[in-house]
Amino acid sequence: MSKKSPKLRIIPLGGLYEVGKNITVIEYNDEIIVIDCGLTFPEEEMLGIDVVIPDITYLLKNREKIKGIVLTHGHEDHIGALPYVLKRINVPVYGTKLTLGLLENKLKEHNIQNAKLHIIKASQSMEIGQFGLEFIRTSHSIPDTVAIAIHTPVGTIVHTGDFKIDFTPINGEVMDFYKFAELGSKGVLLLLADSTNVERAGYTMSEKTVGDTFKDIFMTAKQRIIVATFASNIHRVQQIINAAVIFDRKVAVSGRSMVNVVNVATELGYLNVPEGTLIELNDIGKYPDDKVVVITTGSQGEPMSALARIASSDHKKMDLRPGDLVIISASPIPGNEKTISKVINKLFKKGANVIYEALADVHVSGHACQEELKLIHSLLKPKYFIPVHGEYRHLEQHAKLAEDLGMPRENIFLAENGSVLEFTEESGNIVGSVPSGNILVDGLGVGDVGNIVLRDRKHLSEDGLIVIVVTISKEDGSVIAGPDIVSRGFVYVRESEDLMEEAKRVVRNVLMECEKNHITDWATLKSSIRDALRSFLCENKRNPMILPIIMEI
């Protein structure tokens, strides 16, 4: 009986049913490569959480099989989890020069010095284990972006990464359509393609349209100009600098991530900054207002960002002046609309003029719209398709788009994070699942905050806390002192003295009842206090967290 040939396995551990946290495992014959390793930012209910990274339990269990991590580009949702992952799985990492330059910066912050980083170039081919890889130049909102073709004994997989089709890119390097067509002519088994902008008809505008808008705005502006954008959008930063140079303005940079990215991109040659253009933020007061541009972080209204601090008069190095022109060169990430609106309102109240996406073409997306996606599907002609990088609605819309182009629905897989998909030359199926989900990072703690802790934080944030302190005798269990009640975030004690006295009376009655029945067990005492007080407070439509503390002397 002949031995069955190994199957090709695709396991997305992130990036499905969500925007961000992109990571995909490709496995064949006991060898694994990983495409991207990103993070996402916390949702509103994730109180106190800094970032969210993927659950890599499957990779930890199979670490000896991993041959390398291959990166498509340098955005946080594709490289941001690597510092946390490389501490546990130190495998080779492959990426373009800018991508690894940005990653090195992050690794230094995490004091990781032994990472094995390998620079690759678009149009380069290489082998990692049994996988043959080709890197294909694409366009996105950051330079040095690649799609990846993975050649396996079962067939060729193409992972687009994030991309758009821009015929007039800022760096002049147009997407490599020839390579996509060549792969399609030879046969593609499976396509994994970016779904972020699939709901939008037509084409994404070229990044150069934003540059033209900047020039028009800068031409007539007489005050200081403050432009907020994503730190990683190096093409956008380049166009701001270009417009500043044309109109003889000096450029200062604000925000830690913006400073880091500008430094790395300039050192590596991805930003062209004429000598004498950049000045320190501390020195902007030395120049006339109509000769200054400040590029800053905070385009999503993040509370601790430079723009939010400027709007709140909380920035250490600059104050907003009436008449300052603020350009928010980004569109809101879903869920950030309110925070951005708050910042815009504060800016207007302080007398600034604010231009944002609804008022002018100051932003274009870095992701492909429907017609661009159709072109990639038509060039590659894949047998099977997995839509990636998007919420469920995006994945479903992308599946319908592929179906409209003639792909049988049974060849399209709406997978979830953790799904295990197996492929042969003639078949593809979802065959099971592996652990996946969110690992929450709070300060230096990775994974030590889970659902129970988040639930407690939510409870505290909504209902507050009551602490009851009681001192009892070690000999006979009688109450020596208390109960004393301390509240935080529950009621303003000075205006609720009657309620607090009544709460003390309830606790006192419980303690007397326990003493009468010779109950001295701490656990029983605490649960009795908690139950009685909760019952009393529920009558008053209150539900704080109740924390009894028993001291014995």
Q: What is the pLDDT of residues 24-80, one digit of tens each?
A: 999 999 899 999 999 877 655 555 556 788 989 999 999 999 999 999 999 988 998
Give the residue ranges of the annotated binding site for Ca(2+): 48, 50, 442
Answer whether 379's CB lies under 8 Å from 177's CB: yes
8-202+365-443: which CATH number, 3.40.390.10, 3.60.15.10, 3.30.200.20, 1.10.10.10? 3.60.15.10
Q: What are phi and psi of 235, to 5 degrees?
A: -60, -40
Would you tell me how many other CB atoms lie within 10 Å of the CB of residue 211?
A: 19
Rounded to the nearest 5 degrees, what angle is found at the Cα of 384, between the Cα atoms of 379 and 386?
A: 95
CA atoms of 245 and 276, how far apart (whole Å): 10
Q: What are phi and psi of 84, to 5 degrees?
A: -75, -35
List the one residue out of 553, 232, 192, 250 whose CA is nearest residue 373: 192
| pLDDT per residue as tens digits for the range 7-24 | 899 999 999 998 888 999
Rounded to the nearest 5 degrees, what angle is found at the Cα of 458, between the Cα atoms of 457 and 461?
A: 85
Q: Name the class of domain 207-355.
A: alpha beta
Strand partners for 148: 135, 159
> Mean of the pLDDT values across residues 384-408?
95
Using left for φ > 0, alpha for ψ between -120 and 50, and beta otherwise, residue 212 falls in: alpha
CATH dotted code for 451-552: 3.10.20.580
Give me the pLDDT at residue 238, please. Answer: 93
Give the residue ranges of the annotated binding site: 48, 50, 73, 75, 77-78, 140, 162, 231-233, 363-367, 389, 442
Residues present in the chain in total: 553
Per DSSP, 493 falls in state G
User: H/E element holding 386?
Assistant: strand 384-388
Give me the pLDDT at residue 1, please. Answer: 35
Catalytic residues: 194, 367
Domain ranges of the chain: 8-202+365-443, 207-355, 451-552
| pLDDT per residue as tens digits for the range 366-393 | 999 999 999 999 999 999 999 999 999 9
For residue 552, give Cα distances in angstroms to 4, 285, 472, 473, 517: 69, 63, 5, 6, 18
* pLDDT over 90, % of the chain: 53
Give the residue ranges of the annotated binding site for substrate: 231-233, 363-367
Which amino acid does the sequence have at 327?
Answer: I
Q: pLDDT band at residue 482, thresholds of 50, 70 and 90?
A: low
CA atoms of 450 and 439, how far apart (whole Å): 8
List the one residue out of 410, 317, 398, 330 whose CA is nearest residue 364: 330
CA atoms of 483 and 433, how far apart (whole Å): 52
Lookup: tokens for 83:
């510092």
**DSSP per-residue string spanning 311-338:** HTT--SS----TT-EEEE-S-PPTT-HH
Of 318-332, 374-388, 520-534, least confident by mean pLDDT is: 520-534
CA atoms of 489 and 463, how far apart (whole Å): 7
Answer whether 137's CB lies under 8 Å from 175's CB: yes
